[in-house]
Amino acid sequence: MSLLKSNTFISAHDVTDINALADKALHYKANPFIDKQLGENKRIGCLFLNPSMRTRLSTQIAAQNLGMEAIVFNVGSEGWQLEFEEDAIMNGKTVEHIKDAAPIFGKYFDILAIRTFPSLVNKEDDYSELYINQFIKYSGLPVVSLESATLHPLQSLTDVVTIKETYTPFNEGKRPKVVLTWAPHVKPLPQCVANSFAQWMNAWNEVDFVVTHPKDYELDKQFTGNAPIIYDQNEALKDADYVYVKNWSTYNDYGKIYNSDPEWMLTPEKLQLTNNAKVMHCLPVRRNVELSGAVLDGPNSIVTQEAGNRVWAAQAVLSELLQLQ
Amino acid sequence: MSLLKSNTFISAHDVTDINALADKALHYKANPFIDKQLGENKRIGCLFLNPSMRTRLSTQIAAQNLGMEAIVFNVGSEGWQLEFEEDAIMNGKTVEHIKDAAPIFGKYFDILAIRTFPSLVNKEDDYSELYINQFIKYSGLPVVSLESATLHPLQSLTDVVTIKETYTPFNEGKRPKVVLTWAPHVKPLPQCVANSFAQWMNAWNEVDFVVTHPKDYELDKQFTGNAPIIYDQNEALKDADYVYVKNWSTYNDYGKIYNSDPEWMLTPEKLQLTNNAKVMHCLPVRRNVELSGAVLDGPNSIVTQEAGNRVWAAQAVLSELLQLQ
Amino acid sequence: MSLLKSNTFISAHDVTDINALADKALHYKANPFIDKQLGENKRIGCLFLNPSMRTRLSTQIAAQNLGMEAIVFNVGSEGWQLEFEEDAIMNGKTVEHIKDAAPIFGKYFDILAIRTFPSLVNKEDDYSELYINQFIKYSGLPVVSLESATLHPLQSLTDVVTIKETYTPFNEGKRPKVVLTWAPHVKPLPQCVANSFAQWMNAWNEVDFVVTHPKDYELDKQFTGNAPIIYDQNEALKDADYVYVKNWSTYNDYGKIYNSDPEWMLTPEKLQLTNNAKVMHCLPVRRNVELSGAVLDGPNSIVTQEAGNRVWAAQAVLSELLQLQ
């Protein structure tokens, strides 16, 4: 039975059994090439409307491990600007309409993996996932999100995998306390990683999940759900088993920076409050702004292991999509 | 017997039998991986001096279908500016002379696929195909044009394939009426696609070919040949079975825009004049400037099928070149 | 027994037997695909912090010849700017610290090939190889230099291979006279290629090696060693069997251009002074600035053969690294 509800992977809600999908990723970690026949003569197009390092490399590697050809295309720098407005009179800067470009990808590829991005200006467009939904609609292909305007599901599946892999008391029926904490940054960033992590923690439902951030940094309720929101970071960190550090810009008054208080940076002192918590971050991380170098270089950080797991999460998802075909 | 006269593919005149080459493309469409052994341990270098999406992806895929390694190199953004002037004293912006660069490609690749472009300023240089001819001369390799200064042969072979595939009365010995119509655009564009389509329609000689454009947009006679040139678009469209829409800048007074009359945009009303014509375009297309969205979204448009066929046209040509080696 | 002392290849000193490694390269030139099983399910990451053509293509091809997957990543244009300062507070333009990025490459690849570059401003940083050493330290991977701040070992191994391949009197126990000559240029260039060529000629110790350049262009003594430094180019060229032409900026007063005297350009007249010397250059070359077009187009130039040999040098080194794993 498929672990995906359909042939798209853009949110936790596309997964029928998160635990089983994470187990599949760990199975590939132990046996990277076991399904190398599965993708024979299949081709994945990896389209980037925004730069990427880990996501690009891990997806390309996951595809190769499954025997697929992976073709990377940086739409902006290698191609041209796409138009997404339905009835645009295209006499400006956009060179090709998504309605014309996407069906071509449908002819060239078996699976489409795509990174779009939020404007951080037009909340309605961003939160309706205007871009990636048009790729899904017009390409007619299985689509994997490599981060969209509001979510980053391969990152979040990776995070589930990494928590499963490192929290041994799961065997005794215990639930770790997992804290998502806001961190300072120098630029207004998307809410994607935070939204997505919250969505997956809630959907997975194997951890006690808590969110902490400064006032007015509330995330969209559809993702945080019933998770306690605590404005006092120190209180939230108490007894945490995992601290997931991430900056995001404001959601309500959309795309703003209200706070750059360095007190919110995760330091070794703050880690003392936790239950010797493991520290996670999706990377890239601004050292000594979001997280102190001492934490990143210390024994609690599992960010490298986490980033390494990106390959196996992607491989599990691609494998499922290949089996649907 | 080879379907190519030599080991270059830059014009219709390089083909011995256009019908047979188009049939070969359709054969690959039905059996993409049938010749996967042919390109084993062969390598194609795909060099882009200009951005590309369909051409790049379709060539790369065609090569992979034949079992070749395809290496894409964006000369401008990944490398540096090449010099093409014979005795240049290179103390300016150009970093490497074509006479030094091209022979290296000859050492690294088995086939060279290359996209150059016209200046649209120096007609003599452009129409002598200064750039691609130097690649041919100095690389010593089989060379496939991925669009040159004046022609786009893989696009035109694709167009032949697409007409063959969709015009069933060929079986009854009938000839479709094929109209190449100029369309408005916001930028001065090359004449390549129009030149090339005219050249191939004439060389193929299985269709009744007509060209329509505003006065002073005449193309080079060497390509349009004896095709009727009609300045009244409505008259030209009458009873057409295929309408090929494309903008080009002026050829005689070189590289100019004389006309941006929106009346030349292809609309559903204009389609009424035709014999329920199929509509073609090489893409990318400026919606509601060259072609109305209603035409592109309607049942007469075959632009997606056409773009999909780019793979099979490229595969047929690469296959011929591999068999010459 | 390995021809490398460890799992890094960044200098002549990493090689146990230069002759044997060059022979291995020539063996691959005769039998490109003989070791295609060696790299099965192995992956090389080729990271470029600076643009590259020959180095990129030849490394990618060498890897493919050995059956490896090669993934090219242009760090600047496809990713973002890396931070190399140990305790940086990253509130500026750099997006990711090498301490965080490099370990991820360690998770994704089996071998890391990397091109860094010198600042030509901070001599101490450059000559301590700050960048590449941090990739080595933090990635935990076998690392191949694709040119670093001060050296270009794959180029120099290629140069050894090319001299071995073309100098037949080696069989009679003779030693060719090899002259490294400075040439004019329009920009301040790194000393890498010159440093590296000198280092390898000295370490190889099968040639009579001489360096000629204008006063004040002395290279670092650690590389030129006991080679005679001659300020009179004509004197140096006398009876040369090989002339290696290269520009570099000043080393002592770091990164400057003191001289652009066109008299230092290598011309057919100057070649008359030599023993019908073969002419080498790493390319790209500024025609009629560094070398006259007549020399490059003439029978003495072996620059194309030399550039072609880049593949085999890279293949020999990658093969050794694969066998260490």
C-alpha distances out from residue C80 to A49, A131, A202, Å: 15, 23, 32
According to the model, what pLDDT value does residue B101 have?
Answer: 94
Q: Three-class SS of residue A311?
A: helix
CB environment A278-311: b (16+ within 10 A), e (fewer): bbbbbbbbbbbbbbbbbbbeeebbbbbbbbbbbb
How would DSSP label each residue in A33-52?
A: TTTTTTTTT-EEEEEESS--
Chain B residues within an 8 Å CB radius of A97? 285, 287, 293
Q: What is the mean pLDDT of residues C194-210?
A: 98
pLDDT tens per residue, range A84-104: 999 999 999 999 999 999 999
User: Is B257 near chain A, with CB under 8 Å?
Assistant: no
User: Is B77 near chain A, with CB under 8 Å?
Assistant: yes
* Contact indicator for C38, C173 with CB cutoff of 8 Å: no
According to the model, what pLDDT value does residue C188 have?
Answer: 96
The answer to whether residue B77 scores a pLDDT higher than 90 is no
What chain A residue is nearest to B65 in terms of C-alpha separation? A41
Q: Three-class SS of residue A24?
A: helix
According to the model, what pLDDT value does residue C52 have?
Answer: 87
According to the model, what pLDDT value does residue A78 have?
Answer: 77
Rounded to a whole number, what is the distance in Å from the CA of B307 to chain C's nearest CA?
27
Which one of B83, B88, B100 has the shortest CB-CB distance to C303? B100
pLDDT tens per residue, range A101-155: 999 999 999 999 999 999 999 999 999 999 999 999 999 999 999 999 999 999 9
The answer to whether residue C203 scores a pLDDT higher than 80 is yes
Fill in the amino acid letter for A85: E
According to the model, what pLDDT value does residue C230 have?
Answer: 98
Per the DSSP assignment, residues forming a β-bridge with A15 are A4
Q: Which two tokens stand for residue C325?
A: 């794993």
Task: Kindly determine whether residue A100 and residue B51, on different chains, have CB atoms separated by under 8 Å.
Answer: no
Q: How many CB atoms lie within 10 A of CB A268?
A: 11
Q: What is the 3-state secondary structure (H, E, C) of chain C?
A: CCCECCCEECCHHHECCHHHHHHHHHHHHHCCCCCCCCCCCCEEEEEECCCCCHHHHHHHHHHHHCCCEEEEEEHHHHCCCEECCCCCCCCCCCCEEHHHHHHHHHHHCCEEEEECCCCCCCHHHHHCCHHHHHHHHHHCCCEEECCCCCCCHHHHHHHHHHHHHHCHHHHHCCCCEEEEEECCCCCCCCCHHHHHHHHHHHHHCCCEEEEECCCCCCCCHHHHCCCCEECCHHHHHCCCCEEEEECCCCCCCCCCCCCCCHHHCECHHHHCCCCCCEEECCCCCCECCCECHHHHHCCCECHHHHHHCHHHHHHHHHHHHHHHC
CB environment B274-312: b (16+ within 10 A), e (fewer): beebbbbbbbbbbbbbbbbbbbbeeebbbbbbbbbbbbb
Q: What is the mean pLDDT of residues C283-302?
A: 97
According to the model, what pLDDT value does residue A260 have?
Answer: 87
According to the model, what pLDDT value does residue B226 have?
Answer: 97
* Contact indicator for B29, A43 with CB cutoff of 8 Å: no
User: Is B303 near chain A, with CB under 8 Å?
Assistant: yes
Question: Is C53 a known ligand-binding residue?
Answer: yes
**Average pLDDT over chain C, rounded to whole?**
96
* Residue, of C136 and B76, whose pLDDT is higher: C136
Task: Kindly determine whether residue B286 and residue A90, on different chains, have CB atoms separated by under 8 Å.
Answer: yes
pLDDT tens per residue, range C12-54: 999 999 999 999 999 999 999 999 999 999 999 999 988 889 9
Chain A residues within an 8 Å CB radius of C91? 186, 286, 289
* Contact indicator for A259, A231 with CB cutoff of 8 Å: no
According to the model, what pLDDT value does residue B104 have?
Answer: 96
Strand ranges (E), chain A: 8-9, 43-48, 69-74, 82-83, 96-97, 111-115, 143-145, 177-182, 208-212, 229-230, 242-246, 278-280
Q: What is the mean pLDDT of residues C92-96?
A: 91
Q: Which two tokens stand for residue A223?
A: 């993702």
Identify the band that residue C75 occupies on the pLDDT scale cut at 50, 70 and 90.
confident
Of residues C62, C44, C66, the one with CA closest to residue C114? C44
Kindly tell me the burial class for residue C316, based on how many C-beta atoms sit within 10 Å of its own C-beta (0-12, 13-18, 19 or more): buried
- Other chains touching C, judged by 3 or more CB pairs under 8 Å: A, B
The answer to whether residue C1 scores a pLDDT higher than 90 is no
Q: Which two tokens stand for residue B277?
A: 């014509």
The answer to whether residue B325 scores a pLDDT higher than 80 is no
- Other chains touching A, judged by 3 or more CB pairs under 8 Å: B, C
According to the model, what pLDDT value does residue B206 have?
Answer: 98
- Other chains touching B, judged by 3 or more CB pairs under 8 Å: A, C
According to the model, what pLDDT value does residue B62 have?
Answer: 98
What CA–CA distance (Å, rounded) separates C312 from C23? 10
Identify the band that residue C261 occupies on the pLDDT scale cut at 50, 70 and 90.
very high
Mutating which of C33, C35, C57 best tests the B interface, going by the most B Cβ atoms within 10 A? C57
* B-C contacts at Cβ under 8 angstroms: 82
What CA–CA distance (Å, rounded) separates A310 from C108? 9
Question: Is B153 a known ligand-binding residue?
Answer: yes
* A-C contacts at Cβ under 8 angstroms: 82
What CA–CA distance (Å, rounded) separates A105 from A230? 45
pLDDT tens per residue, range B285-303: 999 999 999 999 999 999 9
Q: What is the 3-state secondary structure (H, E, C) of chain B?
A: CCCECCCEECCHHHECCHHHHHHHHHHHHHCCCCCCCCCCCCEEEEEECCCCCHHHHHHHHHHHHCCCEEEEEEHHHHCCCEECCCCCCCCCCCCEEHHHHHHHHHHHCCEEEEECCCCCCCHHHHHCCHHHHHHHHHHCCCEEECCCCCCCHHHHHHHHHHHHHHCHHHHHCCCCEEEEEECCCCCCCCCHHHHHHHHHHHHHCCCEEEEECCCCCCCCHHHHCCCCEECCHHHHHCCCCEEEEECCCCCCCCCCCCCCCHHHCECHHHHCCCCCCEEECCCCCCECCCECHHHHHCCCECHHHHHHCHHHHHHHHHHHHHHHC
User: Is A293 near chain C, with CB under 8 Å?
Assistant: yes
> What letter does residue A73 receive in the DSSP assignment?
E
What chain B residue is nearest to A46 in terms of C-alpha separation? B57
Place of tokens 């079992």: B67
**Least confidently predicted of B160-164, C51-55, C128-132, C315-319:** C51-55
What percent of chain A has a predicted confidence (pLDDT) above 70?
100
According to the model, what pLDDT value does residue C316 have?
Answer: 98
Rounded to a whole number, what is the distance in Å from the CA of C103 to chain A's nearest CA?
6
What chain C residue is nearest to B96 in terms of C-alpha separation? C284
According to the model, what pLDDT value does residue B135 have?
Answer: 96
- Residue-level length of chain B: 325
According to the model, what pLDDT value does residue A52 have?
Answer: 87
Name residues 50-69 of chain C within 8 A of B (Cβ).
Answer: 51-54, 56-58, 60-61, 64
Q: Three-class SS of residue A256?
A: coil
Q: Three-class SS of residue A124?
A: helix
Structural domains of chain A ordered from first start: 8-151+310-324 (3.40.50.1370), 155-307 (3.40.50.1370)
Chain B residues within an 8 Å CB radius of A106? 304
Identify the band that residue C77 occupies on the pLDDT scale cut at 50, 70 and 90.
confident
> What letter does residue A302 receive in the DSSP assignment?
-
According to the model, what pLDDT value does residue A80 have?
Answer: 80
Strands C69-74 and C43-48: parallel
Identify the band that residue B81 occupies on the pLDDT scale cut at 50, 70 and 90.
confident
Strand order in the sheet with B208-212: B229-230, B208-212, B177-182, B242-246, B278-280
**Average pLDDT over chain B, rounded to whole?**
96
Task: Kindly determine whether residue C52 and residue B79, on different chains, have CB atoms separated by under 8 Å.
Answer: yes
The answer to whether residue C78 scores a pLDDT higher than 80 is no
Contacts by C81-90 with C-beta closer than 8 Å and gap 24+? C82/C49, C83/A287, C84/C130, C84/C131, C84/C134, C87/A288, C87/A293, C88/A287, C88/A288, C89/A287, C89/A288, C89/A289, C90/A286, C90/A287, C90/A288, C90/A289
What CA–CA distance (Å, rounded) separates B182 from C85? 58
Q: What is the mean pLDDT of residues C115-138?
A: 95
According to the model, what pLDDT value does residue A325 have?
Answer: 75
Composition of chain A by helix, strand, coil, percent to 5: 40, 15, 45
What CA–CA distance (Å, rounded) separates A162 from A280? 9
> Block means of pLDDT (10 residues each) for chain A, length 325 residues?
95 98 98 97 94 93 97 84 92 93 96 95 96 96 98 98 97 97 96 98 98 97 98 98 98 95 97 98 96 97 98 98 90
Strand ranges (E), A213-297: 229-230, 242-246, 278-280
Cβ neighbours for B35, distance < 8 A, ≥ 6 positions apart? B28, B65, B66, B67, B319
Kindly tell me the burial class for residue B322, based on how many C-beta atoms sit within 10 Å of its own C-beta (0-12, 13-18, 19 or more): buried
According to the model, what pLDDT value does residue B12 have?
Answer: 98
**Average pLDDT over chain A, rounded to whole?**
96
Which one of A80, A87, A103 has the shortest CB-CB distance to B284? A80
Start-to-end Cα distance in chain B: 13
